[in-house]
Amino acid sequence: MATRYRFGDNENAHFVTFAVVHWIDVFSREDYKEILVESLRFCIKEKGLNVYAWVIMTNHVNLIIACKEGFKQADVLRDLKKFTAKTIIKAIEENSKESRKDWMIWMFKRAGAKNSNNKVYQFWQQDNHPIELSTLEMIQQKLDYIHQNPTRAGIVFEPEYYKYSSASDYHEDKEGLLPIEKMF
């Protein structure tokens, strides 16, 4: 499927967003968020990913990222999404306490059957909607958007109190769950 969203220079920061198919609230469970955090940590350490800001919401992820020389953002995100899709689906299937298990697996199979790029399941929507951040105003707007997302959703009163975000790195000068590179 063609899209107007394309990665520009791999070393320049991009705002990306990717969502679970049908906007299913998979990440309302901490176990599944932790899988995503560990995968991002791996990509930072092993795949040349620079993360400047991030947030995991109940059904989608927002990031500001770039890649070190020799790595491509599109490739890193493709691998991240492929790995996390398989790992999270397996975790759902094996979670005896997951009350939504049958429904979610059915939805992922149904989405996978409609997409020839998949063998069985589709967990993530296909696009990442990368937007190259070319001005300080764009960077600040996307940083604010990412960090205010949990507040707008009513999860927390203040952005820096949301565990699955880089807001504490920026607002409290504390290290969060992921090693980030601050933009300002």
- Residue 42 in any domain: the answer is yes
**Residue-number span of the structural domain to which 98 is assigned:** 14-134
The span from the CA of 86 to the CA of 38, in Å, is 14
- Residue 6 in any domain: the answer is no
* pTM of the predicted protein model: 0.93
- Residue 92 in any domain: the answer is yes
The total of structural domains in the chain comes to 1
**CATH assignment at residue 101:** 3.30.70.1290
Do 80 and 43 touch, CB atoms closer than 8 A?
yes
- Residue 161 in any domain: the answer is no
Question: Tens of pLDDT along the chain (184 residues)?
Answer: 444 567 777 678 999 999 999 999 999 999 999 999 999 999 999 999 999 999 999 999 999 999 999 999 999 999 999 999 999 999 999 999 999 999 999 999 999 999 888 779 999 998 888 999 999 999 999 999 999 999 999 999 999 999 999 999 998 878 899 999 998 8
Q: What's the DSSP call for residue 124?
A: B
- Residue 154 in any domain: the answer is no
- Residue 56 in any domain: the answer is yes
Relative to beta strand 14-19, strand 49-56 is unpaired
Sign of CA dihedral 166, 167, 170, 175: negative
- Residue 177 in any domain: the answer is no
- Residue 30 in any domain: the answer is yes
